[in-house]
Structure 1
Amino acid sequence: MPLTACLQPLLAEAAARQIRLPVLLQGQQAELLLQCQQLIATVKPQSLYWLGEQAPAASTQLKPGNNYQLLGSECDMLVVNAFSGFNADLVAASAGCLKAGGVWLLLAPSDEHWCQQPNPAHSALLPYPLDPQQHQGQFIRFWLSRLAESKLLKLTLNNNQLTINRTLTLPEYQSPATVAPPYASAEQQQAVAAILKVVSGHRKRPLVLVADRGRGKSAALGLAAALLVQQGKKHLIITAASPNAAATAINHYQQQLSDTPGLRFIAVDQLLLEQPELDLLLIDEAAALPTTVLKQLADRYSRIVFATTEHGYEGTGRGFQLRFQRYLEQTQSGWKRLQIKQPVRYQQHDPLEQLIFNSFLLQQPEIEPVYQPGQPMQLRQHQHKDWLAAPEQLSAVFHLLSLAHYQTQVKDLVALLDNPQLSVIALYQQDQLLACALLSYEGELAPELCQQIYQGKRRVQGHLLAQSLAFHLAEPQLASQRLVRVMRVAVAQPLQRQGLGSHLLTELNNLLQQQNIDWLGTSFGVSPALLAFWQAAGYIPVRLSHFADNASSEPSVLMLKPINGSKELVQQLNQQLANELYHCLQEYPANLSFDVIRKLVRPPTVTLTAADIEQLQLFAEGKRPYQLVAHQLLNWFNFHYLQLEPFAASVIAARLWQKQSWQTISQRFQLAGKAACIKVIQQQISRC
């Protein structure tokens, strides 16, 4: 029986029941492609998405990095050709585009052959010197084991003979609650009402609209915009990481008011540059934008709707929840959060959505661990080869890592299974996971290669710590030593601030001493709390990046802890950082927190003479201009900066250390010009 004859009745049934049809077709590539072409010719999808090679001319071929361009887009058929590689991130993200009645067709070799072949689509996850054309990881074997627990139609094609290996029973159609057009669900109607309230209610009470894919979130933005234009609102803007991400909202607006302009797209950089006056700002797929950009928009506009997908395969979606929503809580406590749960592209128990959630570990467990202080805990180290025999532990670790970090993607799950340099140490109590740390074993590079990295001639994948030590810190010999980088530390949410993270790092230190590791290192978006945590654990800052990270909006700090390495050398590197910061602080991000600066910098101190002190007192009394005492002020501040009020110290550091203009300082600290800034300095001198 041909593939078309097998699938056509199922596709008709899938359309009637409002679900998508997941199909795994295995065999020889040439045969499968021929059958797939015949299916496409018969079904005639209006929109065909294709992952992998051999894409038909009429299809949209999805490429790595397309994840956010997919948001809001739709297709009638989605084919994944896994013969030339299987990009897990792209597979997970693209599945949400498929509409009800469509087929998700995975073309693959037999299980045995698939597990034995390399996966070049994940070559960016493999460390030097592994060859991605030769390396066989564990992810495909793990994923197939998860697929075996999922509902799908599994077929084998051999010499044009189609065999059904596993049947698929489609869920019964569940009619959603009836709502009046143009709404697709009652929850969507509630979302539109909430958007309208952002405009009519109090200022500075933004709405965060959250949903998994296919819930009608973007459509709600467009429907609400149409109602607002009908009410006389004329200044409505929608922005997103790309025009494609806003297309669904704009399409729904135009369906309601095809001849009435009112909602238009503006790119984020243009919006920040022009800063037009608005009745409402809509941000679709907000999690795709850097946190620093979201903060700027929240500060500038008083009526905003942030719509976002927060699931794991959306990458920085976790950053939106962990960092940006926390910022809203601190600055605009009246913000509201509304979640849409009812799917509108397909019904609630759609087998493809369940397959994607299950096979990529995207469903978070509801059971929280219980910690009993004083009771024994166990430390376990998991290597990449251990996970297949411990899938429950892998699931628990991946979920904890994703909850505790702002930038988790499906590829992080892949890396755990495919990258032999990655390891996890986990803290358990009565088999409950309390905390864990993700480690990368690095270094031990050949001396010649270390020199090439130092000279800027080479970069090596998977050795971030070794490379930074050789290139940025000009210590190439360290890249040949045994290094471990702590990539993430995660403690279960209800158990935080009970010392478990610190205990885990102590146990890690003891473990790596036994393994004869020379150096421990870590790198993260710097904040005062995180810096204090790592310093308390014995880690010493040795480098601060010159640019803010897009996801965290903070520059990264690199910290080292000698295990068997030289303590004198790490102290020397720390002193170099302190000196560089003092002399070149203006080369670092302008909004770098003073709470961070004061923990890293060590200014030179000069004893002030009686004449210096007299000059400063006259300045404080308004009898000397600033420019006449600038030098004495610098010496005074270098001596007193730790004792001053935090706000005032931040203002003075911005001028004397960061060399910022009075205008910049006034805007940054919301002061009324140069005179107000100088007044802050004068008051501090008077109090010392």
Structure 2
Amino acid sequence: MSDLLPFSSQLIAQAKNANCRHLVVLAGDLAWGTEFANSFTSGYPSYFWAGENAPENADSLSIKKAKKLLGQETHCLVFNAHNGFDADAFGALSGTVIGGGLLLLLVPSGWFDDTQTQLPFIQRLVRLLSQPDVLLIQQSETCLPDLPPSDFARNDYQDLRFNCLTQEQTLAVEAIKKVVTGHRKRPLVLTADRGRGKSSALGIAAASLMTERRIRIAVTSPSFANVNTLFTRAANALGIDYNQQKSLSFESSDMVFFAPDTLLTTLPDIDFLIVDEAAAIPAPLLSQMLSQYNRVAFASTIHGYEGTGRGFAIKFRQQLELQTPQWRQLSITQPIRWAINDPLENWVFRALLLDTDVIPSHRLSTRASLEITYRTVPTKELIVDEALLSSLFGLLINAHYQTSPNDISQLLDDANMQLLVAELKSDEGDSSIVGCCLVSLEGGFDTDLAQQIMLGKRRVKGHLLAQSVAAHIGIPQGATQHCARILRIAVHPFLQQQGIGSSLLDFTQEWAGQQQLDYIGTSFAAAPELVSFWRKAGFLPIRLGVTKDASSGTHSLLTVQPISDAAQSWQQCAVSLFSANFLSQRVEQFNELENELFISLFQYSSAQLDIATYMPLPLSFRDLQLSCYCQGGLGYDLAIASIESWLSEWVSSDDFIHDPTAALAVVKVLQKQSWDTVVAQFSLPSRKHAEHALRSYITQHYQSSL
């Protein structure tokens, strides 16, 4: 292809003139692809290579470390997919290419020459890479593709006040500043796709506030790399030299970066908190930030790399409505770093299903009746039906904000993955997916391997449920028996609270029986409402993780439902063991567990066991002490055993009501938190006031229980 150099030069010139980006696919062996890539990369002052086998002169990074490039920009990116295609990394890195740049995708020739032997996800990818908006160059072909059209609208917007590049960005800066200058407790949620200038708007607003007043601003994000653009733009606006430092000072104002956990541990005295890439921060941490600070701006990428900000906005909205009902949401839609209707962005969104959504609620509300049917969907149906795959993924994105593009390849390629759906029939006879349950088949190991897993000497890839039952509970049958782990369950938000999720689980249980499985189970971020949902569905807790999960910020709870008699025989033992462990761990591993969740699990555990056997104390002596305590005698330290014995029974009784004073009693007596912690948590003036509140609560309810 002697005309490659003129072709690449024309393509680059055209892309720069239109401020758009293109995807160029080089399908052939790696040496050929590397040589051809050089014809394109030589037209830029610099480029970046993602993947293995990078040329010596190239700045490069492995695919696994792709997120280190977030917040950076490049004119041209080479993505080497010869060792596999990582959808998450590709989606993330595509956003680093600026307008006028190219993304060069190097793939094996077999993807196109022998497509039917490829995994389903690659088969779908090949179909999408063959579409007209992709420039496909194959080693086996002699012709080059036609140059793409170049009629893209230019952005001529000017903003002399903030130097913003679009009107939406100007409005975003003004909205961010209003969080500080307006009323308290009115946080802003700012969302945008990649390349819209969201982080720059945060930096511009911060700099403007720092020049107008004395202010202390804290910035937090999953990593400092995520806010590099924010700090760069703020430093430029303030005329400050910036060398990746994590703080900026201007006259009597400053802006400092804190990691999320450090922020909530140290609780610095600040006037304004900026939370960037909030979708990647565990929801419980965001809730704590909302409680601790009066002026907060949350920002997140809608179709992001850690998952999706759209799902984040939906989930976090519930917490915002509870804590700060006057919160405000703003979106930036017009791109800045590239042209509107950018070819690369359009293809990435389509291929990775980043802009897919659930069926609009108005289309469901016109149904005369809810005729729901349930069925399994084979992988081959998803491969050929893009609309079906898109609607399914839309459900998952809205239900689970950690859903990411790699979940598409797992769904299509993993032979152990099974999909069960709820379909709504329309009056015209067509159907729409309104619920889905994604499960993974696990277990079935031989006895020797199960024993090795139980002893912690072997670990098999996948099979998290089966291996957890064996290794974390000490029941090897959990690994030898066959089971299914529920990874995701989702119901259309317009049709929630109508029993569809419960019916879908009933159908899943029937399916599991037909497959001759022994048990089904799931693990989820423990929250009171989720514990209640799964218990009502027949899934009983058997293990609570002693450390918090990094992605959710909460403890993970493992629950199972036996299908066969063989699984039933060990499940009750596992439930009893969980209950005994929780009652023993409550003052150590779980003494900081969220109050409502703690009470729920404490009540559950107490119901499984005879609580009196764990706190043996003669009732006559206990009543004598409590009577004295209620009349103002003794003190907490002298009556603790009697107080704990009675409160354990009281919390487990039908008369118990969870209110703030009850929460105080549980936190102090059953979780053994320090008095300082109790005073701070319940906003009391002193320990004396906390002890008085506890004594009053015990007096009121002990005497009424006699």
Q: When the two structures are superposed, what TM-score results if normalisation uses the length of structure 2?
A: 0.89
* Secondary structure, counterpart of 1:561 in structure 2: strand
1:130 corresponds to: none
* Secondary structure, counterpart of 1:424 in structure 2: strand
1:275 corresponds to: 267
2:350 corresponds to: 358
Q: CA deviation at 1:446?
A: 1.9
Inter-partner Cα distance in structure 1 for 2:69 and 2:231: 15
The range that moved more, 418-427 or 253-262, is 253-262
**Do the aligned partners of residues 67 and 36 (structure 1) sit closer, same or farther apart at CA in structure 2, a change above 3 Å counting?**
closer
Inter-partner Cα distance in structure 2 for 1:482 and 1:374: 38
Residue identity in the other structure for 2:36? Q
Matches within 5 A, 1:44-443: 44-46=44-46, 48-66=47-65, 68-110=67-109, 112=111, 137-149=119-131, 151-158=133-140, 162-165=142-145, 167-180=147-160, 182-259=163-240, 261-262=249-250, 263-268=254-259, 269-315=261-307, 317=309, 320-365=312-357, 367-368=359-360, 370=364, 376-430=371-425, 431-443=431-443
Inter-partner Cα distance in structure 1 for 2:262 and 2:32: 50
* Secondary structure, counterpart of 1:377 in structure 2: strand
* Secondary structure, counterpart of 2:345 in structure 1: helix
Inter-partner Cα distance in structure 2 for 1:61 and 1:589: 46
Inter-partner Cα distance in structure 2 for 1:167 and 1:380: 46
CA contact (8 A) 1:23 1:154 kept: yes
**Do the aligned partners of residues 175 and 446 (structure 1) sit closer, same or farther apart at CA in structure 2, a change above 3 Å counting?**
same
Inter-partner Cα distance in structure 2 for 1:535 and 1:270: 35
Note the alpha carbon deviations across 1:173-195, whole angstroms, 9 max, x for none. Answer: 24354443611100110111111
* Secondary structure, counterpart of 2:144 in structure 1: strand
Note the alpha carbon deviations across 1:515-554, whole angstroms, 9 max, x for none. Answer: 1111011111111211111111111111111122233332
**Is 1:666 aligned to residue 679 of structure 2?**
yes
The range that moved more, 604-613 or 677-686, is 604-613
1:127 corresponds to: none
Inter-partner Cα distance in structure 1 for 2:569 and 2:617: 29
Note the alpha carbon deviations across 1:353-389, whole angstroms, 9 max, x for none. Answer: 0000001111123633627586543322123344223
The range that moved more, 464-473 or 1-10, is 1-10
The range that moved more, 360-369 or 500-509, is 360-369
CA contact (8 A) 2:544 2:558 kept: yes
**Do the aligned partners of residues 541 and 234 (structure 1) sit closer, same or farther apart at CA in structure 2, a change above 3 Å counting?**
closer
| Percent identical residues | 33
Residue identity in the other structure for 1:254? A
**Is 1:514 aligned to residue 521 of structure 2?**
no
Q: 1:649 aligns with which of 662, 672, 678?
A: 662
Note the alpha carbon deviations across 1:387-412, whole angstroms, 9 max, x for none. Answer: 22333222211111121113111111
Q: CA deviation at 1:225?
A: 1.8
2:688 corresponds to: 675
Note the alpha carbon deviations across 1:166-224, whole angstroms, 9 max, x for none. Answer: 65323432435444361110011011111111111122222221101000011111111
Inter-partner Cα distance in structure 2 for 1:587 and 1:318: 34
* Secondary structure, counterpart of 2:364 in structure 1: coil
Q: CA deviation at 1:608?
A: 6.1
Residue identity in the other structure for 2:364? V
The range that moved more, 316-325 or 224-233, is 316-325
Matches within 5 A, 1:465-614: 465-564=465-564, 565-585=566-586, 586-588=588-590, 590-592=592-594, 593-602=597-606, 604-605=611-612, 609-614=619-624
**Do the aligned partners of residues 10 and 679 (structure 1) sit closer, same or farther apart at CA in structure 2, a change above 3 Å counting?**
same
CA contact (8 A) 1:171 1:349 kept: no
Inter-partner Cα distance in structure 2 for 1:168 and 1:445: 54
CA contact (8 A) 1:156 1:165 kept: no
1:133 corresponds to: none
Residue identity in the other structure for 1:256? A
Runs of 5+ consecutive residues of structure 1 not aligned to the other structure? 119-135
**Do the aligned partners of residues 55 and 617 (structure 1) sit closer, same or farther apart at CA in structure 2, a change above 3 Å counting?**
same
**Do the aligned partners of residues 13 and 552 (structure 1) sit closer, same or farther apart at CA in structure 2, a change above 3 Å counting?**
same
Inter-partner Cα distance in structure 1 for 2:320 and 2:134: 42
* Secondary structure, counterpart of 1:276 in structure 2: coil
Inter-partner Cα distance in structure 2 for 1:387 and 1:367: 17
* Secondary structure, counterpart of 2:462 in structure 1: coil
Note the alpha carbon deviations across 1:76-109, whole angstroms, 9 max, x for none. Answer: 0011122222211101111111111111111222
The range that moved more, 4-13 or 456-465, is 4-13
Note the alpha carbon deviations across 1:647-674, whole angstroms, 9 max, x for none. Answer: 3333222223222211122222333333
CA contact (8 A) 2:219 2:275 kept: yes
Inter-partner Cα distance in structure 2 for 1:316 and 1:549: 19
**Is 1:459 aligned to residue 471 of structure 2?**
no
Inter-partner Cα distance in structure 2 for 1:107 and 1:64: 13
CA contact (8 A) 1:319 1:552 kept: no
Q: CA deviation at 1:632?
A: 1.3
Residue identity in the other structure for 1:241? P
The range that moved more, 652-661 or 101-110, is 652-661
1:121 corresponds to: none
Higher RCO (CA 8 Å, separation ≥ 6 residues): 1
**Do the aligned partners of residues 243 and 117 (structure 1) sit closer, same or farther apart at CA in structure 2, a change above 3 Å counting?**
farther
**Do the aligned partners of residues 162 and 40 (structure 1) sit closer, same or farther apart at CA in structure 2, a change above 3 Å counting?**
farther
Residue identity in the other structure for 1:652? A
**Do the aligned partners of residues 170 and 423 (structure 1) sit closer, same or farther apart at CA in structure 2, a change above 3 Å counting?**
farther
The range that moved more, 605-614 or 669-678, is 605-614
Runs of 5+ consecutive residues of structure 2 not aligned to the other structure? 241-247, 426-430
Inter-partner Cα distance in structure 2 for 1:395 and 1:506: 25
CA contact (8 A) 2:204 2:234 kept: yes
* Secondary structure, counterpart of 1:635 in structure 2: helix
Inter-partner Cα distance in structure 2 for 1:162 and 1:281: 57
Inter-partner Cα distance in structure 2 for 1:39 and 1:150: 20
Corresponding pairs, count: 667
1:132 corresponds to: none
Inter-partner Cα distance in structure 1 for 2:39 and 2:421: 50
* Secondary structure, counterpart of 1:308 in structure 2: strand
* Secondary structure, counterpart of 2:41 in structure 1: helix
